[in-house]
């Protein structure tokens, strides 16, 4: 069983205290390696990998890699103060002598006080102090038994494909005279409906069949969508008085949040445009990442930007480089200190629910979205700790962190709309994660 991230974090703190300020010689390398791997739940390094793995170098005696775990990690130790650049080149030379299928993705060199880590698959290199290992534990997600937490090429491709489908719909509407602010709002509404249809906000398949039940020539689709938008903005007490409201519309929940508040001009559809919307619905919108989709969605509106769709966005990696040292690392440290004290844990939970975050140039909200996700991940760990002591009957009563703690300033209207919807989407994705863990479905509706 994988250790939880909070257990790994605590292990990393203890490891750093033991090793970062001591003067060790290379003879103690294997002790450090064993304890380092133990941080991530690898209790027996010999079973996982191989100590002193021999490597044949032409015209020389065999050389030895201090620790080698096929396909996972190679570690080379040096005495304190040695040049890690030279050590890395040495390890790189060793790796070049091995079969390509055996070469680990992670290469690490260490002089007890400092660590240099390379991820072969992405050509990324990180240098950090051993005492700061706790800040870098998720770079070792693979050896801890987790998938590496980064936006992969496959995930980017998923978001590009989704944006391309929206681009196709955008062009069709614009070519028929529907443009400007109204078009932007219309597309954001459709984006929410598409996402809602795949993530449980709407009953499974309802939005698809609502579109499919329109006339094949598209002549009544505009009217049907206008009716749907009106119902999505209709509170339950008002609906109760609408005795003639059709059963198919009653199935869609009250959304609010201002998203469907404004009455838009009707957007005319023909058969081809109707088919384009149906094709959009055939995509699995639950797989999009609100963290990077927003920038791509904004690119939909500009044909010049569209040629490079997905090429320019602030990566999750770079966002985490800012928010972790700025506040998330400190919050995780505080959680580690109070998690075993029920009263202190409750006070800490209230604290993170009172924090306010502002991005004064938020664009499509990438920084806000990732920050919200990370804060919700911390809250989930708090709830897990509470559930280990007491049975949680209603998870909705215990969720305190919300999108209302987050603020952004943006000059352009459309990115601001995307940021707002992106926050709602990540909120629902995090609610689904909580629901999955506790076995209680929860959706935060109506939107605030």
Cβ-based neighbours of 273, under 8 Å, separated by 6 or more: 169, 172, 173, 176, 218, 221
A 10 A CB-CB count for 444 gives 16
The pTM (predicted TM-score) of the whole model is 0.62
Indicate the burial class of 239 (C-beta count within 10 angstroms; 0-12, 13-18, 19 or more): middle
In a domain? residue 328:
yes
Does residue 180 form part of some domain?
A: yes
Q: In what order do the strands lie in the sheet with 63-69?
A: 50-55, 63-69, 73-77, 106-110, 114-119, 124-129
Q: What is the tally of helices (H) and strands (E) in the chain? A: 18, 8
- Residues 284 and 158 placed together within one structural domain of the fold: yes
Query: CA 300 to CA 278: how far, in whole Å?
Result: 18
Q: CA-CA distance, 8 to 379, in Å (whole number)?
A: 17
> How many Å apart are CA 366 and CA 106, to the nearest integer?
28
My answer on whether 325 and 344 are in the same domain is yes
Buried b (16+ CB within 10 A) or exposed e, 377-410: ebbbbbbbbbeeeeeeeebeebbebebebbebeb
Looking at the structure, do residues 58 and 109 belong to the same domain, yes or no? Answer: yes
**275: Cβ–Cβ under 8 A, 6 or more apart, which residues?**
none
Q: Which domain holds residue 381?
A: 316-438
Count the domains in the chain: 3
- Give the pLDDT of residue 161: 73
Q: State whether 256 and 223 are in the same domain.
A: yes
For residue 1, what pLDDT is reported? 53
Asked if residue 227 lies in contact with residue 251, where contact means CB atoms within 8 angstroms, the answer is no
Is 148 inside any structural domain?
no
Calpha distance 409→363 (Å, rounded): 8
Comparing C-alpha atoms, which of 371, 339, 440, 367 is closest to residue 399?
A: 440
Indicate whether 390 and 408 sit together in one domain.
Answer: yes
Say if residue 130 is in the same domain as residue 249. Answer: no
Domain-terminating residue out of 86, 116, 140: 140
In a domain, 395, yes or no: yes
Read off the DSSP letter of residue 263. Answer: P
Secondary structure letter of residue 128 according to DSSP = E
Please check whether residue 426 lies inside any domain of the structure: yes
Distance CA 108, CA 25 (A): 17
88: helix, coil or strand?
Answer: helix
| Domain annotation covers residue 444 | no
Q: Examine the domain organization and report whether 267 and 387 are in the same domain.
A: no
- Alpha carbons 150 and 370: distance in angstroms, whole number: 12
46-51: long-range contacts, CB 8 A cutoff, minimum separation 24: 48/72, 49/73
Together in a domain, 359 and 287? no
**Co-location of 213 and 296 in the same domain:** yes
The CATH number linked to 112 is 3.90.1570
Q: What residues have CB less than 8 Å from 240, skipping those under 6 apart?
A: none
The reply to whether 298 and 331 lie within a common domain is no
Q: Answer whether residue 92 is part of any domain.
A: yes
Q: What is the pLDDT of residue 399?
A: 92
Quick one: pLDDT at residue 309? 44
Please give the pLDDT value at position 149.
Answer: 46
Tell me which residue of 361, 375, 186 sits closest to 267, measured CA to CA. 186
Residue 239 and residue 257: Cα distance in Å, rounded?
17
Q: Which of residues 274, 306, 338 is at a domain's end? A: 306
Distance, C-alpha 284 to centroid of its chain: 17
**What is the distance between the alpha carbons of residues 447 and 258, in angstroms, rounded to a whole number?**
8
Q: Mind listing the pLDDT tens digit of every residue in the chain (448 residues)?
A: 567 777 888 888 888 888 866 665 556 788 889 999 999 988 888 888 888 888 887 666 778 889 999 889 999 988 887 778 778 888 888 887 888 778 888 999 998 888 999 887 766 778 888 888 988 888 888 888 775 544 444 556 667 777 777 888 888 888 888 888 898 889 889 988 988 888 778 887 788 889 999 999 999 999 999 999 999 999 988 888 888 888 889 889 899 888 899 899 989 899 988 988 888 876 777 777 776 667 666 666 666 655 554 444 566 777 888 888 899 889 988 988 898 899 999 999 999 999 999 999 988 888 999 999 999 989 988 998 888 777 777 777 889 999 999 999 998 888 888 888 889 989 988 888 888 777 777 788 888 7
Q: Are residues 283 and 189 in the same domain?
A: yes
| Domain's final residue, options 114, 140, 166 | 140
169 and 296 share a domain? yes
Radius of gyration of the chain (CA): 26
In a domain, 443, yes or no: no
């Amino acid at each position: 069983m994988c250790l939880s991230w909070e257990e790994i974090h605590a292990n990393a703190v203890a490891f750093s205290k033991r090793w970062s300020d001591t003067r060790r010689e290379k003879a103690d390398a294997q002790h450090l390696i064993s304890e380092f791997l133990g941080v991530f739940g690898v209790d027996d390094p010999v079973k996982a990998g191989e100590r002193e793995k021999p490597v044949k170098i032409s015209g020389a005696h065999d050389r030895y890699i201090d620790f080698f775990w096929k396909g996972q990690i190679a570690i080379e130790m040096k005495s304190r103060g040695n040049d890690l650049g030279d050590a890395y080149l040495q390890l790189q030379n060793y790796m070049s002598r091995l079969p390509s299928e055996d070469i680990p993705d992670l290469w690490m060199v260490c002089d007890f006080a400092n660590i240099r880590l390379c991820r072969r698959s992405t050509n990324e290199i990180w240098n950090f102090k051993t005492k700061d290992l706790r800040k870098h534990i998720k770079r070792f997600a693979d050896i801890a038994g987790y998938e590496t937490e980064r936006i992969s090429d496959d995930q980017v491709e998923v978001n590009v494909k989704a944006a391309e489908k929206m681009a196709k719909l955008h062009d069709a509407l614009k070519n028929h005279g529907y443009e400007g602010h109204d078009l932007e709002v219309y597309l954001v509404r459709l984006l929410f409906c598409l996402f809602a249809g795949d993530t449980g906000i709407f009953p499974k398949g309802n939005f698809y069949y609502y579109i499919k039940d329109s006339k094949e020539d598209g002549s009544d689709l505009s009217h049907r969508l206008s009716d749907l938008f009106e119902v999505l903005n209709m509170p339950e007490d008002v609906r109760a008085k609408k005795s003639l409201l059709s059963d198919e519309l009653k199935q869609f929940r009250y959304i609010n949040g201002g998203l469907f508040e404004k009455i838009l001009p009707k957007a005319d559809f023909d058969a081809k445009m109707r088919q384009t919307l149906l094709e959009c619905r055939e995509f699995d919108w639950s797989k999009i990442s609100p963290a990077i989709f927003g920038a791509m969605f904004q690119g939909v509106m500009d044909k010049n930007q569209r040629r490079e769709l997905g090429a320019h966005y602030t990566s999750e990696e770079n966002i985490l480089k800012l928010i972790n040292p700025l506040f998330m690392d400190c919050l995780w440290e505080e959680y580690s200190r109070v998690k075993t004290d029920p009263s202190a844990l409750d006070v800490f939970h209230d604290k993170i629910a009172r924090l306010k975050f502002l991005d004064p140039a938020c664009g499509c909200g990438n920084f806000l979205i990732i920050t919200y996700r990370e804060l919700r991940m911390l809250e989930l760990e708090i709830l897990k700790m509470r559930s280990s002591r007491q049975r949680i009957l209603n998870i909705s009563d215990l969720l305190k962190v919300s999108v209302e703690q987050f603020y952004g300033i943006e000059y352009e209207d459309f990115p601001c709309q995307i940021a707002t919807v992106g926050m709602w989407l990540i909120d629902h994705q995090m609610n689904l994660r909580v629901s999955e863990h506790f076995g209680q479905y929860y959706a935060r509706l109506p939107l605030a």
